[in-house]
Structure 1
Amino acid sequence: MAEVNDFRKELEDIAKTDIFEVANDQENFVGNPFKIDYDRTSILTCDDWKYNVGGIAQGCFLLAFYENDFGDDEVHEALLIRAIRPCPIPSDSSVISSRIEYFKEELKTAGKNRQIDQFTRFEFSCSGLECSILGTFYKDKDGVIEFGADLENFYSPHLYKVYKPSGKYLKYIVNLRDSDGPLKPESNFQIGNVRYSSSRKNYDVDVNSQESVLMHTKDILGKRTALFGMTRTGKSNTVKKLIEATEELSQKSNQQSDQRSTNFEDNLSPYYENEVPKDEVGQIIFDINGEYANKNLQDGTAIFEKYDKKVTRYSVLEKDNFEVLKINFYRDVVAGQELMRGYFKQLGKQSDYVEDFLGVSLEDSGDLVGGDKIRYNRKIAAYKCCLKLAGFPVSGPDKLYFDGCAELNTQVKTGGIDPKKGVSYDDAITWFSQVWKHYEEWDYLKNYETNRGKPWADNDLKAALRFLTQYRRPRERGPVNSYIKLRSLIKYHTTSATELFEDNICKLVREGKIVIVDLSQGDPEIQNLYSEKICRAIFNSSMKNFIDAKPNNFIQFYFEEAHNLFPKKDDKDLSQIYNRIAKEGAKLNLGMVYATQEVSSISSNILKNTQNWFIAHLNNEDEVKELRKFYDFRDFADALIRFSAKNDKGFVRMKTYSNPFVVPIQVKLFT
C-alpha cells in the first residue's frame, strides 16, 4: 500500500508541475535562437552554458520561452524543441581561420595557462545548434497549461531564450499525455527512464536527466505496438515488460470484479473510472525461439515461471507440462483438411489431383438426409482411407460405415464386402479401389447416370478416389504419389479425442489467461499455419461477440521474430489475418505487439496502423529511411546507426499512442 501511495504522490506532483518555472533559473539557460520557422529553429550556445546544464546530447529536450509581452497582455508560451545537430553560424569562417593560425603558432588555447584572451576564448566556444520544434506549451484563459503538437505562430527569434529542463520538469514533459485529466496510479506503470545518449557522463550530480517514463493502460491494450532493432538490443526484454505490465492490469481488474455489470450501457466502455480494464486481459505469445516458454541462459527468466498459475504452454512436440498442437485427423476431418491446405499452400502450387483432393468439401451441414447423406458418408469414408494409406495411425472406431449396393458389394471381392454393416479400413480401401478401377466397366456404374440423371460418384468423391487409388482415370494407373505426399503431416496427428487446440486456446484467453505457443521446434510452414489458425479463431470469436453486441475482453497478441509470420512488405492481401487484426483489431479489443529486426520486413498495412513504437539500434540507412516516414523518428536518424553492444541494450526511442512525440528511454530490466 505504501508503494501505491508513493506512486500516487509522484503522479500528483507531475500534475502540479508548472513548466514555465524552468525559465526562472538561469542555471538552465543554454542559448538564444537566431533563426526560426514552423518546423526548425537554430540557436546560439557556448561551452559554458552547455557544461552548466550537464551537456546537450543529441535528441535532448529544450524549451524556448517567449519573453516579450504585447501591451498589457502577458504571453505564456514555450516551444518544446529537440536538439538535432550542429548548425553553422556567421562567425564560423573567421573563427576557423583564427584557430588554424593559433595552431600554426603552437599557442596554447586551453587550460589554465592558455595564450588567448577572454574575448577570443568566448568566440571559440560559441556554436550553433539546430533543433526540431515538437510543439508549444501555453496557458489557456483559465491559466491551465496545455500542449499543442505544432506551432500556431512564431515571433522574431531574438525574443526567445532557450533553457534545458531537468528533474520534475523533464518528468512532466516525457509523461505528457494527449488525454485530459491527471495520471491515475492504477493504470500507469514505469517502462523505463529518460536516456539521451549511449555515453552517460555525469557533469553534475544535481542535474537529473534520468527521470522515470510511464506508459498508460490505453497505450497498450487493444493497440498495435512495434519493436524494431538488431538482435541483442533488448527487444525481448521490452516485450516481457509489456507482458508483465498487462498481467498487473489484469490482476487489478480481477480485484475490482465486484464492480462488473451486465447492463449494456455500463459495458460501452471497457474500462472502470480508474482506467483499469473491466475484464481480465488474455495474452497469447507466439514464441518462435522458445525463450518465453522455457527458461533461457540470456536473462535466466521466463514468463511461464513468473506466472506459472496462469500460463498454459503449447508445443508442436509432445513434452512434459505442455499441451500439444496436434489434430486428430480422423475425428476432426475439416480441421485436418484445413491444416493440409495451409501446409501445401506454403509449399506453392501443387498438382491438379492434389488441389482437387484438398478442395473436397468435408463440411457437414447437419441437415443432410436420404441420398445426400449417403453420398456424404461415402466421401468421408474414402477420405479416411486416404489417411490410412498415408500412414496416419487410426483413431477411434476401427471400422467404417457407409452405403454401397448389393451388386457392387459382390463384385469388389470374392465373398463380397458390405460396408453398411461396418468394414475394416483395409476392406474399405479394397472396396473403393475396385469400384474406381472398374468404374467404366461394371454395368451398375455405367448405367447409373442414364437411369438416375447424375453420376454415381460426384466430383468430390472422384477426387478422393483418384487420390486413394493413384488412378488418374479408371483402369489407368498414373505415376502419381497422391497420399504419399501427406506423410510429412503425420507428426501433427494425434490419436487422442481432445478439443481442437485453437478452440481451447480461445477459451483460455477469454478467461484472462496467458498462453505461450512454443513454435521453436516446428517447420516454418507449420509455424505459419498454426499461428494463423489460432489468430483467426480468436479474431472470429471476437467478431462474433462484436456483431452480437457482447463485450470483448482485451486480448494481446505477441509475435517474436514477426517477419517469419507476417505478410511481406509488398503483400497487399488485406484478408490475411495479421492485416485484419492490425486494421480491425481496435474495435474488437485485440492488441498486437510484434518484434523484428527490420522495419522493411513488415507489411505496410500493419506499419500504417501501428500506434506504439520502440526503436533500438538499426545498422543500415535503408531501415532508417523506412523509419523516417513515421512520426518524428527522423530526429534520431543519425543516432540509431551508432551502437555500443556493452552499454546500449534496452536503449530505445519510444513513441506511444498517448504521447505526442518520441521519447528516448532506457527500458527497465525484466526480472
Structure 2
Amino acid sequence: MTGIAAKVQNSTELRKPLTALINQGCKPVGGIFRLDYDSAIVLTDDFKKHEAGGVPRGGFLLAVAGDSTEAGFILEDQEIILLRVRGTAPLPNESELIQTRLAVVRDAGASGVDFDDVTDVLTRNELQQSAFDCEVLGTFYTETDARDARVEYGADIDNVVVSARYQVFLPSTDVLSWLASYPAAADERDSLAIGKVRFAATRRKALIAGTDQADVRIDVSDFVGRKTAVFGMTRTGKSNTIKTLVTAVHRYASEHERSIGQLIFDPQGEYANVNRQDGTGLRLLGDDDSTVRIYKVEPDATDSREKTLRLNFYDREVLEAAWSLVSDATAQVNTNYAKSFRSADLTEPDRQDFSAHNRWGWSLVAFYGLLAKCGFTATRFTPLKIALPDDKADAFLKEHPTAITSAGRGKYTINSPAGALSLANWVGKRSADFPKWHDENSRFPDIFGVYEYTGVTSAIRTIRPFHGPESTGDVAELLWQDMVAGRLSIVDLSSGNELVAKVMSERIVTHLLNKAGERFREDADPLEMQIVVEEAHNLFERGGRDVADDPWVRLSKEAAKYKMGLIYATQEVTSVDKRILSNTSNWLVAHLNSDHETRELSHYYDFKVWAPSIIRAEDVGFVRMKAYSGKYIVPAQIAKFDHSMVNEARKAAGLGSISSAESDG
C-alpha cells in the first residue's frame, strides 16, 4: 500500500468509534502475555506506569489488538476488552528477579551508593518490569465497522487468543468518564453527573494525571421506581448521597413533565430543615406547599410548606389509623393480655345489626377511656352514644354525675374521654352485672383488660407526641394525595422514639401500598413515587415477619408493578431482609468497618472484590456504585450536595434561583 493510500486508510480507521476512543489520550502501559476468559496478566514496567500517571488497584485498563502508526493506534477489530486491576502478578522469571533485586539492595547498602550505581542499564530495565493481575470485565464492540456503528457491551469475551498483539492502555480522563458512565453517557439529558471517578483513598497520582476530574454520570431513570441501597457507616456521606439523588429525581420529573412523588422518612430532622452550615436543603426545592410539604410534630404556622404530623386520636374519622398506631405500639409486649388487646377489631359493623353495633360502641368506650388513662388530651370530642340500662346508669351517675347524659329510652351519651374512662372503669369492674359486654363476642374486656398493666400503658404513652387535639384528617391519606400530586414530602420523625418512628412509618407505607394496590386492581395507571428511608436498620426487621405483615418486604415484592421506588440507607447490610436485598437494583456502598457486613455484601454482584477497600478507606463520600443500567461496579467520589443543585432543579421547575442568604432568612 502506498504512503498516501495508507494515510487515507488510517484516517478512515481512526474515525471508527472504538479506535477513536483509544486515540482519545489513552496511555500505553504494557501488553497481555496471558489471557483467559476470566483474567489477564499484563506485562508493564515502572517507566510506562509513571508516564501514564499511575495505575491504582481497581483501575480500568483497555486491551486492544492492533498496530501503532504515525497517525495513531489502529485496531484490528472494533472491540476493546475491559480489564480491572486486582493486584500484581509474578512474572515467569520472578525468582531470578528477586535474587537480582536482593543483590542490588545488599550491594548498594554495603557500599553506601545509589541503586543505579551498582547496576547496568539492561539490568535496571529488567528489574523495573512487573505484571498486573487483571479481571476481565467484558468487551466493548460494534456489530459493524461503520463509522456511526453503535457501541455495545458484553459482560464477557467470546474468544481467547494467545497472540502478543494485545496492547494495554490506561484510559484518559475523558475516556475514563465515558467508561464510568456507560451507558448513561449516551444521553446527557437523562443523566446526572453524580461525582468523580475515584479508585483509591490516596489520590496524588490521580490529581497529577487529571483523572480525578473524570465525571461519573448516572441515568436518573435507573433510580425511579426501583430499589436503591445506600450503605455506609455514620458520617460517610449517606445523607449527602440521598439528597443528591432526591434532587436529581425532582429535576428529572420537571424536565420530562412527569409526576413523581417523593416521600422521605427523616429520623433526625436532617432533610426537613435547612443546613445551617451551607444554608441549603431539600425544602428549598419549592416555595410553597404545592411542591414541597414537610410534616412535623410542631409545624411552623408561618410556613405553608409545614404541616402537622399529628393525628387526633379521638377523631372518629381516623379511628382505624389511631387503633393501628396504638396496637402496634404495644407490639413488644408479649403477655396474654397484650395479645388479646391487639386482637381486638374496632371496625364499625353494620348499623342495622343493633347487637353488634352496641358491642362496638362499648369497645370505643374502653378504647377512648384507655387513651384518657394514658394522658391523651382532648379539646373536642364527638359524643359517643351507647346503650345502658337506666337502673345501671342511675347507679353510675350517683358516683359520676357529669360523665354521661341521657339520650332517652336506655341510650346515653358520653361527652368526653374522661367520661369514657370513668364508665369503662365502672363497667369493667362489674362483669357480673354486664355479661353481654364481657362475653366472647365483645371486644370490651380485651381492651379494658390492659388498663392496669403498665407495660401496655407505658408503650401507648410513647406515641403521645403524635396526638394532636386540634388535628384533622389522616396523615397517611394526606401523604397519598401528595404522591398523587407529585410533591416532595418529608416526614420529620425526630420528635418520637424509635418505636414511634417505626410504627408511624410502617402504617404510612402500608396505606400507600394499599392505595396503590387499589389503583392496580382498578386497572388505573400507576403513580410514580419514591420512598426514602434513613437509618433503615431501625425500621427493617430481617426475616422477622411474613411478607403480608412486613410493609418493607411488601414494598420490595409488590412495588415494581405499582412503580413505587425505595431508597434505603443503613450502616448494617445484615439488618436488611434478604428479600429486599435480592430486589435491589442500585447499590452505593461507602465505608463499612466490619467484615461481617462486607461478607453479606459480597453475596451481591462482585462487591467481594471491593471488600478490602470498603473496610480500609473511610473517606466521606467515597462509594462503590452499581447502577441498574450500569454494567459493572464504578468507584466514585459523590459530589457534595449544594445550592447549585437546588437551583438547577428549581430552574427546571420554572422557579427562580435562591441564594443561601435568602434561605437563612
Question: Same fold, TM exceeding 0.5?
Answer: yes
* Residue 157 (structure 2) pairs with residue 174 (structure 1): no
What is the alpha-carbon distance in structure 2 between the residues aligned to residue 157 and residue 459 of structure 1?
85
What is the alpha-carbon distance in structure 2 between the residues aligned to residue 621 and residue 389 of structure 1?
48
Q: 2:259 aligns with which of 257, 260, 280?
A: 280
What is the alpha-carbon distance in structure 2 between the residues aligned to residue 583 and residue 110 of structure 1?
69
AA aligned to 2:161 is Y
**Which stretch of structure 1 is more off in the superposition, 586-595 or 623-632?**
623-632
What is the alpha-carbon distance in structure 1 between the residues aligned to residue 112 and residue 568 of structure 2?
53
Report Cα offsets for 1:628-654 as digits up to 9, x if no partner. Answer: 22222233233223326xxx3222211
Q: 2:326 aligns with which of 314, 321, 340?
A: 340
For the 8 Å contact 2:225–2:564, the answer to whether it is kept is yes
Aligned pair in 2 of structure 1 residues 318, 125: CA closer, same or farther (>3 Å)?
Answer: same
Report Cα offsets for 1:346-392 as digits up to 9, x if no partner. Answer: x231x333332332221124554433333333332343233334432
For the 8 Å contact 2:329–2:459, the answer to whether it is kept is no
What is the alpha-carbon distance in structure 2 between the residues aligned to residue 401 and residue 26 of structure 1?
83
For the 8 Å contact 2:182–2:630, the answer to whether it is kept is yes
Aligned pair in 2 of structure 1 residues 599, 459: CA closer, same or farther (>3 Å)?
Answer: same
The residue number in structure 2 matching 1:303 is 282
What is the alpha-carbon distance in structure 2 between the residues aligned to residue 284 and residue 221 of structure 1?
13
Correspondence list, 1:221-236, <5 A:
221-236=224-239
* Residue 46 (structure 2) pairs with residue 44 (structure 1): no
SS at match of 1:614: strand
Correspondence list, 1:129-168, <5 A:
129-141=132-144, 143=146, 144=149, 145-156=151-162, 158-168=164-174
The residue number in structure 2 matching 1:380 is 364
* Residue 271 (structure 2) pairs with residue 292 (structure 1): yes
What is the alpha-carbon distance in structure 2 between the residues aligned to residue 26 and residue 439 of structure 1?
89
Report Cα offsets for 1:158-178 as digits up to 9, x if no partner. Answer: 242211221433233222229
The residue number in structure 2 matching 1:402 is 386
Aligned pair in 2 of structure 1 residues 156, 372: CA closer, same or farther (>3 Å)?
Answer: same
Aligned pair in 2 of structure 1 residues 313, 227: CA closer, same or farther (>3 Å)?
Answer: same
For the 8 Å contact 2:57–2:200, the answer to whether it is kept is yes
- TM-score when scaled to structure 2? 0.82
SS at match of 1:294: coil
TM-aligned CA deviation for residue 656 of structure 1? 0.6
Runs of 5+ unmatched residues, structure 2: 1-14, 68-74, 643-665
What is the alpha-carbon distance in structure 1 between the residues aligned to residue 78 and residue 91 of structure 2?
29
* Residue 314 (structure 2) pairs with residue 314 (structure 1): no
For the 8 Å contact 1:379–1:460, the answer to whether it is kept is yes
What is the alpha-carbon distance in structure 2 between the residues aligned to residue 430 and residue 98 of structure 1?
96
**Which stretch of structure 1 is more off in the superposition, 221-230 or 598-607?**
598-607
Q: 1:660 aligns with which of 631, 636, 646?
A: 631
Aligned pair in 2 of structure 1 residues 24, 558: CA closer, same or farther (>3 Å)?
Answer: closer
What is the alpha-carbon distance in structure 1 between the residues aligned to residue 426 and residue 572 of structure 2?
56
For the 8 Å contact 1:133–1:150, the answer to whether it is kept is yes
The residue number in structure 2 matching 1:62 is 61
* Residue 111 (structure 2) pairs with residue 127 (structure 1): no
For the 8 Å contact 2:18–2:78, the answer to whether it is kept is no
AA aligned to 1:36 is L
Correspondence list, 1:387-466, <5 A:
387-397=371-381, 399-413=383-397, 418=406, 420-425=411-416, 432-440=424-432, 458-466=441-449
Aligned pair in 2 of structure 1 residues 93, 414: CA closer, same or farther (>3 Å)?
Answer: closer
What is the alpha-carbon distance in structure 1 between the residues aligned to residue 272 and residue 53 of structure 2?
44
SS at match of 2:284: helix
TM-aligned CA deviation for residue 340 of structure 1? 1.1
The residue number in structure 1 matching 2:652 is none
What is the alpha-carbon distance in structure 2 between the residues aligned to residue 165 and residue 139 of structure 1?
19
TM-aligned CA deviation for residue 574 of structure 1? 2.5
TM-aligned CA deviation for residue 231 of structure 1? 2.2
SS at match of 2:392: helix
Aligned pair in 2 of structure 1 residues 167, 427: CA closer, same or farther (>3 Å)?
Answer: closer
Q: 2:496 aligns with which of 496, 510, 522?
A: 522
The residue number in structure 2 matching 1:86 is 88
What is the alpha-carbon distance in structure 2 between the residues aligned to residue 524 and residue 228 of structure 1?
20
Runs of 5+ unmatched residues, structure 1: 1-15, 255-278, 449-453, 471-478
The residue number in structure 2 matching 1:364 is 348
Correspondence list, 1:597-636, <5 A:
597-636=571-610
**Which stretch of structure 1 is more off in the superposition, 630-639 or 600-609?**
630-639
Aligned pair in 2 of structure 1 residues 389, 527: CA closer, same or farther (>3 Å)?
Answer: closer
For the 8 Å contact 1:17–1:168, the answer to whether it is kept is no
Aligned pair in 2 of structure 1 residues 296, 109: CA closer, same or farther (>3 Å)?
Answer: farther
Aligned pair in 2 of structure 1 residues 109, 38: CA closer, same or farther (>3 Å)?
Answer: farther
What is the alpha-carbon distance in structure 1 between the residues aligned to residue 27 and residue 534 of structure 2?
43
Correspondence list, 1:482-497, <5 A:
486-497=460-471
What is the alpha-carbon distance in structure 1 between the residues aligned to residue 242 and residue 393 of structure 2?
63
What is the alpha-carbon distance in structure 2 between the residues aligned to residue 615 and residue 398 of structure 1?
52
Aligned pair in 2 of structure 1 residues 21, 377: CA closer, same or farther (>3 Å)?
Answer: same
TM-aligned CA deviation for residue 439 of structure 1? 4.0
Report Cα offsets for 1:572-594 as digits up to 9, x if no partner. Answer: 63231111212222221111111
What is the alpha-carbon distance in structure 1 between the residues aligned to residue 488 and residue 135 of structure 2?
42
What is the alpha-carbon distance in structure 1 between the residues aligned to residue 566 and residue 46 of structure 2?
46
* Residue 341 (structure 2) pairs with residue 352 (structure 1): no
For the 8 Å contact 1:109–1:115, the answer to whether it is kept is no
SS at match of 1:401: strand
What is the alpha-carbon distance in structure 2 between the residues aligned to residue 485 and residue 375 of structure 1?
26
The residue number in structure 1 matching 2:662 is none
Aligned pair in 2 of structure 1 residues 235, 480: CA closer, same or farther (>3 Å)?
Answer: closer
For the 8 Å contact 2:29–2:170, the answer to whether it is kept is yes
TM-aligned CA deviation for residue 660 of structure 1? 0.6
AA aligned to 2:119 is I
For the 8 Å contact 1:45–1:128, the answer to whether it is kept is yes
What is the alpha-carbon distance in structure 2 between the residues aligned to residue 540 and residue 629 of structure 1?
32
AA aligned to 2:46 is D
Q: 2:482 aligns with which of 485, 508, 529?
A: 508
What is the alpha-carbon distance in structure 2 between the residues aligned to residue 123 and residue 484 of structure 1?
77
For the 8 Å contact 2:592–2:614, the answer to whether it is kept is yes
Correspondence list, 1:552-563, <5 A:
552-563=526-537
For the 8 Å contact 2:206–2:212, the answer to whether it is kept is no
What is the alpha-carbon distance in structure 1 between the residues aligned to residue 430 and residue 267 of structure 2?
50
SS at match of 2:81: strand
Correspondence list, 1:526-537, <5 A:
526-537=500-511
Aligned pair in 2 of structure 1 residues 510, 111: CA closer, same or farther (>3 Å)?
Answer: farther
For the 8 Å contact 1:35–1:41, the answer to whether it is kept is yes
AA aligned to 1:64 is A
The residue number in structure 1 matching 2:546 is 573
SS at match of 1:151: coil
- TM-score when scaled to structure 1? 0.82
For the 8 Å contact 1:189–1:215, the answer to whether it is kept is yes
The residue number in structure 1 matching 2:650 is none
TM-aligned CA deviation for residue 406 of structure 1? 3.6
Report Cα offsets for 1:399-434 as digits up to 9, x if no partner. Answer: 432122344334545599746253555666555555
AA aligned to 1:314 is Y
Aligned pair in 2 of structure 1 residues 96, 546: CA closer, same or farther (>3 Å)?
Answer: same
TM-aligned CA deviation for residue 132 of structure 1? 0.6
